[in-house]
Amino acid sequence: MLEANRHQNINIMTYSEVVKVDGYIGNFKVQVKRNARFVDEDKCTGCGTCTDRCPIYVPNYFDENLSARKVIDIAFAQAVPAVRDIVRESCVECFACVDSCDQEAIDFSQRDKIVELEVGTIIVATGWDIYQGDDYGYGTYENVINQIQLERIIAPNGPTLGHLKRPSDRKRPTRILFINCVGSRDVSKNPYCSVVCCNLSLKNSKLIKSEYPDSEIVCSYIDMRCAGKDYEEYYRRSRDKGILFIKGLVGSIKEDPVTKNLIVQLEPVGTDTVVEMEFDMVVLSSASLPSEGTMEIAKVMNMEKSPDGFLKEFHARLDPISTKVPGIYLAGSAQGQKTIELAVSQAKGAASTAGIPMGKGEYIMELIRATPLDERCAKCYKCIDACPYSAISVNETGNLVVDIIRCRGCGTCASLCPSKAIELTYFRDEQYVALLDEMLPIEE
């Protein structure tokens, strides 16, 4: 990240969001909203004096609200650039930060501004969010957490400096239950598999066992899906460490109001027995969801989404990088949840694919496009609803207009038009009739 920030041809625009995209490949016009951070990026040296002087604390979103941060602080320890930002809605305007800054970098008069960019190609890599339903007492019982919260707890720069402690009393839990497939593989919530959950349970349970060998760890699962290079071996090593894997879903969880321990009932597959066990902490391997940014960018760029809510690729198997719009490509979990190595592979593929037309300096289109015939059109507008590329619209007079850049000449509109009021260039009916007459002449 630091190396990318130092590259002369890379401009990292943090604390920003895309609000509008127009144009086509080689000529996209993008409007980016630069949110006011109330700190001048050019003047701030990242010394941290303002943070030390600030008297107000707010929940730290990077630590999943398990710790606190100052109102003016850096987003996280390795943030690039190392510039502070102010949580304006929580600021009491004591201006202690202003008085402490020798560089005069803090400016409360800053306002959001729109920056316009001209770009040739676009890669969308908006990541994913985690499912946060009320399953198994999450959000109600303090010691029921998800994997992201556990990641922050056991991280060396986390709220407990990497030492495992449960949220309720900051004591080390010795009995821990991992529950896989929370919110995923469920037709009432998210029917798809979130891909990373099984291996995430293996990794974190193994990390806990490495630091605290006396821990009693149980993992409840539907199926352990550990496909990939060395993943099955990783699963085997976890079992050798003494981690107990139980196939079956958890029925209910209740909290002991005194100890804050969790009483869990589950029925292992293949038995008719309901097992009741007590744990100090429960960790949920929750479903991966399209990120909030994915939803926003889909609206801004009019991008198609697949039924699971992730951005739709041109072809799920043959072309998972391109979209229906030439010049716009997908990378990572914006297209669908995937493991690290697949995300890296797709990112490299997207960069290479976007670099091809950029390197050539031109992009050649074969203009086999739909052509509307106004005199035939009955104005049913079925073609508009059917067009998979959103290339057909209606002008102020009610006539059809085809965007020759968006249109890909698939012929869907022509095949369903009841009035034969739209045809493909070079593939018109009279051309086919003339061709057939020449090939199959009728003898007198």
CA–CA separation, 390 and 183 (whole Å): 33
Pick the CATH number of 370-439 from 1.20.1440.230, 3.30.70.20, 3.40.50.300, 3.40.640.10: 3.30.70.20
Predicted confidence (pLDDT) per residue in 399-415, tens digit: 999 988 888 888 999 98
Two structure tokens written together for 282: 């429960």
On whether the CB atoms of residues 287 and 196 are closer than 8 A, the answer is no
Q: 196 near 178, Cβ under 8 Å?
A: no
What does pTM read for this prediction?
0.86
CB 197 within 8 A of CB 289: no
Burial label for 48, CB within 10 Å (0-12, 13-18, 19+), is: middle
Confidence band for 249, pLDDT divided at 50, 70 and 90: confident
Residue 24, phi-psi category: left (phi > 0), alpha (psi -120 to 50), beta (remainder): beta
pLDDT at position 313: 94
For 97-121, the pLDDT digits (tens) are 999 999 999 999 999 999 999 999 9
Question: In angstroms, rounded to a whole number, what is the distance separating the alpha carbons of residues 46 and 102?
Answer: 12
Distance from the first to the final alpha carbon of the chain: 78
Contacts 24+ apart (CB under 8 A), 68-74: 72/39, 72/97, 72/106, 74/46, 74/48
Find the range with the poorest average confidence among 17-31, 270-284, 421-435. 421-435
User: Taking a C-beta distance cutoff of 8 angstroms, is the pair 390, 405 a contact?
Assistant: no
- CATH number of the 129-289 domain: 3.50.50.60
Is the pLDDT at 302 greater than 90, yes or no?
no
For residue 271, the model assigns a pLDDT of 83
Is residue 430 over pLDDT 80? no
pLDDT in tens, 225-238: 998 888 899 999 99
Least confident of 28-32, 289-293, 352-356, 387-391: 387-391
d(CA 59, CA 70): 8
**Predicted confidence band at 349 (pLDDT cuts at 50, 70, 90)?**
very high
pLDDT in tens, 365-401: 888 889 998 888 999 999 999 998 888 999 998 899 9
Angle, CA of 292, 298 and 302, to the nearest 5°: 160
Residue 122 confidence class, pLDDT cut points 50, 70, 90: very high
Crossing angle between the packed helical segments 197-211 and 231-240, to the nearest 10 degrees:
40
Span 166-223, pLDDT tens digits: 999 999 999 999 999 999 999 889 999 999 999 999 999 999 999 999 999 999 999 9
Q: What are phi and psi of 16, to 5 degrees?
A: -135, 165
Which positions ≥6 away from 287 have C-beta within 8 Å?
130, 131, 181, 182, 183, 184, 189, 190, 194, 197
CATH 3.50.50.60 positions along the chain are 129-289
Name the burial class of residue 184, with classes exposed (0-12), middle (13-18) and buried (19+) by CB atoms within 10 angstroms of its CB: buried
pLDDT tens sequence across 28-61: 999 999 999 999 999 999 999 999 999 999 999 9
Asked if the model's pLDDT at residue 444 lies above 70, the reply is: no
Integer Rg of the chain from CA: 28
What pLDDT, on a 0 to 100 scale, did the predictor assign at position 93? Answer: 94
Residue 443 pLDDT > 80: no
At residue 362, the pLDDT reads 87
| Stretch(es) of the chain classified as CATH 3.30.70.20 | 370-439
As a whole number, the mean pLDDT across the chain is: 92
